């Protein structure tokens, strides 16, 4: 809606200065650039906001790329181009069935549980 309105406002000035084809080209490129910057900034703000929420709820580490690269080194993930996929279908299906996220606060087992859970094999 704003681009046709912008063409009506900006287009006549550009046409008068640069001619019909040059003016329309300049007006279209200028408005396309402005629209791209506005919508791109909106997408960046959404991305940053979602990442900060996931980080604050301990659902995702802040430094995501090193985390994903380490998971790739440990063969949990595979890097395909600029994205990551699960290497094991069974792991993907298991993680998809978990209802609650795993807590990042790990408590080490006490002596009683440590001795009870160890087996001689």
Is pLDDT of 80 > 70?
A: yes
Extended strands (E) in the chain: 77-80, 83-86
What count of other Cβ atoms lies within 10 Å of the Cβ of residue 111?
7
More confident residue, 68 or 39: 68
* Six-digit token string for 57: 């709820």
- Please state the domain extents for the chain: 1-44
Q: For residue 23, give every residue at least 6 positions away whose Cβ sits within 8 Å of its Cβ, in sequence order, or none.
A: 11, 13, 14, 15, 16, 17
CA distance 22 to 51: 43
* pLDDT tens sequence across 91-106: 888 888 887 655 555 5
């Amino acid at each position: 809606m704003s681009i046709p309105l912008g063409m009506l406002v900006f287009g006549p000035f550009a046409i008068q200065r640069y001619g019909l084809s040059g003016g329309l080209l300049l007006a279209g490129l200028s408005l396309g650039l402005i629209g791209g910057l506005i919508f791109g900034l909106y997408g960046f703000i959404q991305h940053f906001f979602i990442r900060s929420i996931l980080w604050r709820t301990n659902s995702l580490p802040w430094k995501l790329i090193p985390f994903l690269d380490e998971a790739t080194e440990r063969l949990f993930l595979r890097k395909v181009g600029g994205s990551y996929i699960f290497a094991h279908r069974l792991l993907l299906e298991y993680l998809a069935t978990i209802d609650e996220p795993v807590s990042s606060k790990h408590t080490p087992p006490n002596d009683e549980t440590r001795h009870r859970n160890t087996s001689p094999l």
